[in-house]
Structure 1
Amino acid sequence: MMHVVKSEIRLASQLQRAALDSGVADAAIRVALQQTLQANQKQFKSIQSTVVAVFDREVQVDFIPLNGLINLNHAPVDLLTDALKYAAGLPQEQAAAIAQGIELERKKPNTKGEAAKLHAVEDLMRIAGIDYDIYARVIGIFTTDLEDTQRVNPLAAPLAVLNVLAQGKEGLAQQVLQNRLERGDTTDTTQLSGNHVQIASTDFIAARATVSSGDNTAVVRVWRLSLSGDSYGLPWRVLGKVAPFQTNGQPPP
């Protein structure tokens, strides 16, 4: 009985701390956004980081341009094929067939006769040939938040997307990522697939707050945002939020 009670107390303590850290992360994102907009910055070309203080805790907030992801609604079919081939590990023929399925699905007319498009990455589960295993491997490389963007900004792309742009050359993708950490906007990206690369600024971003818990773990909170318009009196529009998750103390790449 004592063992059960102690376990429940420990679990309750962990849940309480996670809830508190999540609130601190949300507050940090709001403070960082306020500071950024006061500096009149609404466009981001590369990942930028800042540290803000919330309740005497220092929180790292990263602003990540969403054009570093592959746009499900506007990416060319050959880029979708590469994504399924190099990120999901599918054979060329299967990847091409699924990419064509995505093209057909996003062009289906809605009640107004317009292209219906995909409204969330989860819509991939409607595509013939995509099971949950494939979906789980590609969920982190796609976005439906962007409007007309067809290419990918390598200065904001995660490693999995860089691997797609490098056409499966993992060493090259790692090299670009490392150079980006060292050189920032001057990173050489000429060895990546030029047809799918475009370095450009965007006002669609992900704001990621990492709150250290002091035991070599951290709670991470991510908001997807548009800085081009206001919403309910706020000078930004929230497109979606990722549920808080725990890491080993470092923000994910």
Structure 2
Amino acid sequence: MSHLNQQVAKQQGIALIAVLWVVAALGIMVVGMIHVVKGETRLAAQLQRTTLDSGIADAAIRLALQQTLLANKKEFKTIEVTTVQVFDRTIQVEFIPLNGLINLNHAPIALLADAFQYAAGLPKEQATALAQAIDLERQKRNAKGEAAKMHSPEDLLRIPGIDYDLAALVMPLFTTDLEDTQRVNPLAAPLAVLTVLAQGNAALAQQVFQTRIERGDTTDTTQLSGNHLQISSTGQIAVRATLSSGDNMAVVRVWRLALSGDSHGLPWRVLGQDPPFQISTSSTPP
């Protein structure tokens, strides 16, 4: 073979290798694009399903509220559960008195300190210092000379010494939707708040929590911190709808409402609505 033919053959071989590399690269790009498209399709389908389920959950909340008001029930002392049917789907709806949470604007400093000590695991001195800082913040005056108060548990982030991680631990324990309530109703408190009321005794809190499921308002709460307890009814409630969405998951929707007080002629006043979120159907609601 002549030198010229050898050069041509070599160039053809290099060209073939280049073509193969390009084909391989295009193949990888196509596979990647297919993977991205499939992922986007799954995400869009999931978003569509969540949006639909959220709308059904909202409808379930309205139906359950209508049934409650028809029964002339405007206050709750314990957590009550019912089910409603919407489009042949069964939705569980819970009525949760908000006085089972710690009132961020009116709870005494000692109760605030207990929340940081037993829910976030802070030393007593640090927990007390944060509680005192919260008390100073909520006593600040606005332009009208009134106590400015806090408008949501997220306002804890305004307090020096409270970062996002710490706030995430304690925010679920608090509410700003109550008026002047200073104590906590243990018959409506979530497990985390019961642990605070039990001075960090998780076993006692779990015992009260389980007994409450079985016995309701006859539950013995005398072993909890009596200084911070007040069993009473309230018209400020959270209504929580849980709708199974398949794949061992459920969509949860929560409205916070006032059934009593000034509602400007409406059957209820919406205090706030949480964005829908998903939980495992095998988990225990918080």
- Range of TM-score over shorter length: over 0.9
* Conservation of the 8 A alpha-carbon contact between 1:154 and 1:189: yes
Q: Which runs of 5+ in 2 are unaligned?
A: 1-32
1:64 to 85, 96, 104: 96
Distance (Å, rounded) in 2 between the aligned partners of 1:164 and 1:246: 26
| Cross-structure match for 1:23 | 55
Q: State whether structure 2 residue 93 is matched by structure 1 residue 32.
A: no
Q: Which amino acid aligns with 1:21?
A: D
SS at match of 2:99: helix
CA deviations over 1:196-244 (Å, ceiling 9, x no partner): 0110000000000000013211000000110114657531011111110
Q: What is the TM-score normalised by the length of structure 2?
A: 0.86
Q: Distance in 2 between matches of 1:240 and 1:109?
A: 24
Per-residue deviation, residues 124-161 of structure 1 (Å, max 9, x unmatched):
11111111111010010000100010000001000000
Higher normalized helix content (fraction of residues): 2
> Does 2:100 correspond to 1:100?
no
Residue 240 of structure 2: aligned partner = 208
CA offsets 1:21-78 (integer angstroms, 9 cap, x no match): 0000001000000110010000000000100011111100000000000001110110
**Residue in 1 that maps onto 2:171:** 139
The structure that has the greater radius of gyration is 2
**Between the two proteins, what is the percent identity of the paired residues?**
74
Contact map agreement 1:229 1:235 (CA 8 A) in 2: no
Which piece of structure 1 moves more, 224-233 or 117-126? 224-233
State the AA in 2 paired with 1:100: Q
Counterpart CA distance in 1 for 2:54 and 2:110 is 39
SS in 1 for 2:266: coil
Question: How far apart in 2 are the matches of 1:251 and 1:37?
Answer: 28
Q: CA deviation at 1:114?
A: 1.7
Aligned length: 253
Match of 1:167? 199
Report what 2:213 is aligned to. 181
**TM-score where L is the length of structure 1:** 0.97
Q: Secondary structure at the match of 1:140?
A: helix
The offset of 1:6, in angstroms, is 2.5
1:122 correspondence with 2:154: yes
CA change 1:132–1:3 in 2 (3 A) is closer
1:252 partnered with 2:282? no
Q: CA deviation at 1:110?
A: 1.5
Q: CA deviation at 1:87?
A: 0.8
Unaligned runs of 5+ in 1: none
CA distance in 1, matches of 2:87, 2:262: 27
Q: Which amino acid aligns with 1:164?
A: V
Which letter maps to 1:92?
A: K
How far 1:3 sits from its partner (Å)? 3.1
Matching of residue 47 in structure 1 with residue 83 in structure 2: no
